[in-house]
């Protein structure tokens, strides 16, 4: 069953807000979330990109990993 979502952006001019819901919402649990849009944008802008390590570049074309050779090097 597909869920229905209603999204409305308003500028608050009072401390009270009345919502009109469609008939198919009656008798169902609904979630109401209220936040200030500018604050949400500021928080999202504060997220930093993860740093990548790109100081070393190796050409591994043609490289074949040999497990026995690697284990032998660890044991010696």
10 or 51, greater pLDDT: 10
Q: Hey, is 75 helix, strand or coil?
A: helix
Q: What pLDDT is recorded for position 42?
A: 60
Give the pLDDT band of residue 15 (cuts 50, 70, 90): very high
- Residues belonging to the chain: 76
How far does CA 14 lie from the centroid of its chain?
Answer: 32
> What is the Cα–Cα distance from 27 to 24, expressed in whole angstroms?
8
Q: Are 37 and 9 in contact, with CB atoms under 8 Å apart?
A: yes
Which residues are CB-contacts of 32 (< 8 A; sequence separation ≥ 6)?
A: 19
| pLDDT tens for each residue of 19-62 | 899 998 999 999 999 888 876 666 666 666 777 777 778 888 88
The pTM assigned to this predicted structure is 0.43
Two structure tokens written together for 43: 């928080």
């Amino acid at each position: 069953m597909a869920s229905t979502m209603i999204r409305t952006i308003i500028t608050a001019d009072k401390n009270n807000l009345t919502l009109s819901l469609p008939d198919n919402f009656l008798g169902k649990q609904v979630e109401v979330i209220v936040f200030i849009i500018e604050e949400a944008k500021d928080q999202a802008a504060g997220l930093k990109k993860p740093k990548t390590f790109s100081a070393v570049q190796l050409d591994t074309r043609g490289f074949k990993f040999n497990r026995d050779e690697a284990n032998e090097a660890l044991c010696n």
